[in-house]
Amino acid sequence: MERVRSIGLPAMHKERGERRAFLPSFVKRLSDLDVDVVLEHGYGERLGFSETDYCLANPRTKFGSREEVYGQDVIVVLRAPEFEDLKRMQKGAFLFSMLHYDTRPALVKVLADAGIQSFSLDSIADDSGSRLVVTYELTAGGGVREAFRQAENRWPDFYCANRRPTFVTILGMGHLGVQAGKASFAMGDPSIKSKAEQHGVRGVIVTYLERDVTKHPSEVNRVIAETDILIDATRRADPTEFVIRNAQVGYLPEHAIILDLTADPYDTRTKPIQVKAIEGIPTGTLDQYVFEPDDPVYDSIPAEVDSKHRRVVVSCNAWPGVSPIECMQVYEEQLLPMISLVCLKGGVEERSADPLERALYRSTLDYFLKVHTERRCEAPELKGSRIELGNCITT
């Protein structure tokens, strides 16, 4: 394994509302690794940092063009780079990013074709399966806060002591769902909770719908009919299957709000197409994460997806980004040991005695393709191939 000599930090340009960038404190701590650090011009400006702030933090820091940044040995960027940026990377270079292999088949193919050694941040998990790079609290907190703010502004009786409690129904009982429940009990925002208590509001009741229940539409419909805020916090084994069909959305009260925390995208490049857990809702971004039932964005939903029944939707594909400084402080602590390991060793080994190295290996594209190829061979009845990579087929 060759020694890593440089790290590139590209800016994220996916939308105007994306302000996140690693902080000068992160760049300062990279000085312990004996590497050059190249940042894209303008990096951190949306958070109020200047080039001088970064250069003072680490004397081996310099700024360059997007092409220069993507030419470094290691690339670290939260959200998956655009395809053209991946093609700027050196063959064999390392990439740390939220790549979501399971639901991004076209991206997987580009990574494989480019020969990039990728670590998908959302797949880095310890030996017991717990994610090591994640901000469940910020993800759930940002979404639930916005959902309750919308309820506060839209429901005339929100602060009425005589109304019934707010009924929140959550799909998904993992870490994200648990945090969503906690945030819901707090009404998403201390100021809203405090005001509600002052007015004698009866609080919040949270109901979880686990996987087996969702197989029985009549039971789900009974719960949905009483739901004020419906939250998707699922992690589906099969992203081509709906959890809640659009006809069931019609059972929601007219005032109900749908909160999309997972923000899985529609993707018509796969057969069958990739869909969202709740059929017929749009996917938001940091530029727009509140959608009225008549929003033009519904016209972009694939024709084969039913979107007849609509409610106000709160959705964002980067919920931690609504609290950018706090988000980047968390990621800095989580990522530094991993980047240090790769830089010092020049890669990772599958059968390492180091649990962190094993976790990193399981986040690689090589491991993803290996596991999914094995599953394909063991279960030929699985649904049709999503992409083909030589002899490797992911499903």
| Residues 156-165 pLDDT 10s | 999 999 999 9
Q: What is the pLDDT of residue 2?
A: 74
Distance CA(200)–CA(46), nearest Å, equals 41
Question: Once rounded to an integer, what is the mean pLDDT over residues 267-277?
Answer: 90
Q: What is the pLDDT of residue 388?
A: 33
CA distances in angstroms from 321 to 11, 109, 175, 375, listed in the order given: 14, 27, 19, 35
Q: What is the pLDDT of residue 313?
A: 98
Q: What is the pLDDT of residue 380?
A: 46
Q: What is the pLDDT of residue 73?
A: 97
Parent domain of 179: 136-321
Of 268, 291, 321, the position where a domain reaches its end is 321
Which CATH number does the domain housing residue 212 bear?
3.40.50
Please check whether residues 308 and 172 belong to one and the same domain: yes
Helix (H) or strand (E) holding 64: strand 61-64
Q: Domains in the chain: how many in total? A: 2
Q: Which of 121-130, 262-271, 357-366, 381-390 has the lowest mean pLDDT?
A: 381-390
On average, the pLDDT of the chain sits at 92
User: Is beta strand 36-40 parallel, antiparallel or unpaired with respect to 6-9?
Assistant: parallel
Which CATH number does the domain housing residue 17 bear?
3.40.50.720
Question: Once rounded to an integer, what is the mean pLDDT over residues 181-199?
Answer: 97
Q: What is the pLDDT of residue 375?
A: 62
Please check whether residues 291 and 271 belong to one and the same domain: yes
Instruction: Label residue 392 exposed, middle or buried (CB < 10 Å: 0-12, 13-18, 19+).
Output: middle
Please check whether residues 346 and 284 belong to one and the same domain: no
Please check whether residues 165 and 311 belong to one and the same domain: yes
Q: What does the longest C-alpha to C-alpha distance in the chain come to?
A: 68
Q: What is the pLDDT of residue 243?
A: 96
Of 321, 348, 375, the position where a domain reaches its end is 321
Please check whether residues 230 and 308 belong to one and the same domain: yes
Q: Confidence band (pLDDT; 50, 70, 90) for 393? A: very low
Which pTM does this prediction carry?
0.85
Q: What is the pLDDT of residue 36?
A: 98
Please check whether residues 194 and 184 belong to one and the same domain: yes
Q: Confidence band (pLDDT; 50, 70, 90) for 391? A: very low
Answer whether residue 130 is part of any domain.
no
Q: Which of 74-78, 322-326, 369-373 has the lowest mean pLDDT?
A: 369-373
Distance CA(205)–CA(223), nearest Å, equals 12
Q: What is the pLDDT of residue 376?
A: 56
Q: Residue 97 is which amino acid?
A: S
Please identify which residue in the block is written with the tokens 């529609």.
Answer: 266
Q: What is the pLDDT of residue 15?
A: 84
- β-partners of residue 278 are 244
Please check whether residues 191 and 310 belong to one and the same domain: yes
Answer whether residue 363 is part of any domain.
yes
Answer whether residue 305 is part of any domain.
yes
Q: What is the pLDDT of residue 13?
A: 86
pLDDT top residue among 371 and 205: 205
Q: What is the pLDDT of residue 275?
A: 95
pLDDT, one tens digit per residue, over 93-148 is 999 999 999 878 889 999 999 999 999 999 999 999 999 999 999 999 999 999 99
Question: Once rounded to an integer, what is the mean pLDDT over residues 251-276?
Answer: 93
Question: Once rounded to an integer, what is the mean pLDDT over residues 196-224?
Answer: 95
Q: Confidence band (pLDDT; 50, 70, 90) for 382? A: very low
Please check whether residues 210 and 336 belong to one and the same domain: no
Could you please report the per-residue DSSP string of 240-282? TS-SB-HHHHTTS-TT-EEEESS-PPPBTTSSSPB--SBTT--
Please identify which residue in the block is written with the tokens 């727009």.
Answer: 288
Q: Is the pLDDT of residue 385 over 70?
A: no
pLDDT, one tens digit per residue, over 337-375 is 999 999 999 999 999 999 999 999 999 999 999 987 766
Answer whether residue 152 is part of any domain.
yes
Q: Is the pLDDT of residue 333 over 50?
A: yes
Please check whether residues 287 and 378 belong to one and the same domain: no
Q: Is the pLDDT of residue 235 over 50?
A: yes
Distance CA(263)–CA(275), nearest Å, equals 10
pLDDT, one tens digit per residue, over 30-59 is 999 999 999 999 999 999 999 999 999 999
Answer whether residue 129 is part of any domain.
no
Of 265, 299, 321, the position where a domain reaches its end is 321
